[in-house]
Amino acid sequence: MAISPQAFPPRKRQPSAGAFISPKLSDQTLLRSLHHLSQEISSLEPLQFLLRRTSLSVIRRSTLLSIFFEDIIRSSTAVFSHSVILCFQELYILLQRIQTLLEDSSNGSRMWLLLQTESLANSFHELTLDLSTLLDILPVKELRLNDDVEEVVSLLRTQCSRSTTKSFVDPRDDGLRLEVCSILDRLRSEIVPDRSKLSDIFTQLGIRDASDCREELKSLQEEFQNQTEEKSKSQLVALVGLVRYGKCVLFGASTPASDLIRLKSASELSFPADFRCPISLELMRDPVTVATGQTYDRESIKLWIEAGHNTCPKTGQTLGHTELIPNRALKNLIAMWCRQQKIPFETAETNKGLVNAIKKNKAALEATRMTASFLVNKLSVSQSMEAANGVVYELRSLAKTDADCRACIAEAGAIPLLVRYLGADVGGARPNLQVNAVTTILNLSLLEANKTRIMETDGALNGIIEVLRSGATWEAKGNAAATIFSLSGVHGYRKRLGRKTRVINGLVELARDGPEHGCFKKDAMVAILNLAGEREAVARLVEGGVVETTLQVMEGLPEEAVTVLEIVVRSGGLVAIAAAYGAIRKLASVLREGSDRARESAAATLVTICRKGGSEMVAELASMPEIERVIWELMGVGTVRARRKAASLLRILRRWAAGLGSEVAEVGYSTVNHVSTSTTATIVAI
């Protein structure tokens, strides 16, 4: 079934390979294609704010060409000469180039178009020269046109010949370009842009509100991805900084209506089966194809190969090579689907180049610093929750961008101001404000230096804990849990957080009672996993019911749950072992059907339970159907650590079967390894 182009959002279009080669078409088909192409160009709108006169002239010439081709189609039955066909083929290529240039100029960034005005004017001029040349050499007499159409061709030739002297740049456009360049130069010198001049520039470019600014920022970021020259990239990141600053200063801070509803996560949607990684069963972010032609998410298949496998997980075929080939077509389809569903689609490499370029660009850095200072100053004088919510949302968006933005926001003094909006009173009156505040703190905490700022700010930690325990929404609680996880990345803070019963209870409650959709339970589980690394915290976790909660969520979050259980039973003493008795059946199920990482942790956990728990625990495991076959399988295809743990488990079962159960608890459990950290989550800005 054909897919309508309207099904996909507008995007930067690049010339197709077929636009620059001669078409292999019959005479009449070529004529009809030329007529159709010229009509398509004629139906395009001229550029609205820049190069309007130039684009309008090109479109009018295409209209005259469509009249010319229509008359030939209607009246001609003769076979054309070789010269005519060659001219028509060249015209076809030329019209493709014209259409591509017009569409690219219409769909791209206006700021970038402004800086490229002279270059684009030259491109249009070159196309006019080519059209003039083709019309001059076209043997019009052979075509037997009627008098009216001959006049049209004559008019077209005259128009083109008048335009061949030099390219035209509207003085207004050029003056606007120089003004933007001047502002960028002043930014490099740490001079704040003049508000009235900035307003005039935005108005002339048709950027009239915050929504237009957001679209412009998207276009600039897409343009950055298309560029290869460092100079162009440097100009683009400077423009990104300028537009961000202008958006806040000119249009104020506001929460767009579309963002009042939380952006959906991929886990909340039923996405197309072809977009799902066969290994992780999650939405693929970086699809790659292996030697057998099957496609997987890069991270999942890399872990598979690094674990020693040389087969395709889906087909079982031996891989001829381990090269991973990016599947860009599928990645583009997934990205477009995510945009339509309003869910984030970002990969580590997506913004890496942009972030690195910003670090090297003085204008971009100064614009970021000015934007952060402006927003923080505005937040400090905000009188209403509605006004504060807009500013906090802008800070959240800025803090999501990169490390420099996070540093600038914190240095401007945002953290103490954000703490004011974490309380239950704010959550009750304005839940979105509480969500935005805690999420901004989460994003800021991704910068190592900001972790100290947050922990040392009066009321910040208590505010985060209050949101975790009694936040107005699950999103607020989940992001508070993610903040706890981020802060616990520092050893000293992990010990401090692990001593707080309110933190432990809040995380366990969220993991146990959180909704099945979304990533709230997972946020809580990875934070628990981090805190469980401290032996002192394990006792509090066991007392808080972490073992029972882990068993409850094991089906939905097997890797996180099994890893938490492994470290708790290893460090939690006999109380944890006794509580884990009911886990044996679930662990055996994971051992049978789980992912490589989950099976590894399940095997290690069962070894610890059996060694410390005695014969009763071993007997429970031995009663599982076909458990020895499952263990043998893991010994053959599991990770290195999984194979070692499976072998230990098999020895324990055989000793028990041989009547040596009394010795089970003495089988050197001091050799139990540390928990694999492969399941440790990475928090990303949201």
What string of H, E and C letters represents the secondary structure of 213-248?
Answer: HHHHHHHHHHHHHHCCCHHHHHHHHHHHHHHHHHHH
- By three-state DSSP, how is residue 326 classified? strand
Q: pLDDT band for 142, please (50, 70, 90 cuts).
A: confident
User: Own/partner pairs for 324-329, CB < 8 Å, 24+ apart?
Assistant: 324/288, 324/289, 324/290, 324/298, 325/288, 325/289, 325/290, 326/286, 326/287, 326/288, 326/289, 327/287, 327/288, 327/289, 327/295
Q: Residue 455: its pLDDT value, please?
A: 95
Helix, strand, or coil (residue 126) = helix
Calculate the alpha carbon distances from 381 to 194, 312, 384, 444 in Å.
22, 60, 9, 21
Q: Residue 54: pLDDT above 60? A: yes
pLDDT tens per residue, range 75-91: 765 677 888 888 888 99
Average pLDDT, the chain: 83
pLDDT in tens, 585-632: 889 898 888 888 888 889 998 998 888 888 888 888 888 888 999 999
d(C-alpha 652, C-alpha 648), whole Å: 6
Percent of the chain with pLDDT over 70: 85
Extents of the domains making up the chain: 27-169, 577-659
Does the pLDDT of residue 685 top 80, yes or no?
Answer: no
Burial class (CB in 10 A: 0-12, 13-18, 19+), 516: exposed
Determine contact, residues 518/476, Cβ cutoff 8 Å. Answer: no
| Contact in structure between 54 and 124 (CB atoms under 8 Å) | yes
Which helix or strand (DSSP H or E) is residue 289 part of? strand 287-289
Each residue's pLDDT tens digit, 236-284: 999 999 999 999 999 887 665 544 444 444 444 567 778 888 777 678 8
pLDDT the model gives residue 77? 59
Confidence tier at 572 by pLDDT (50, 70, 90): confident
Residue whose C-alpha is closest to residue 240's, from 401, 9, 48: 401
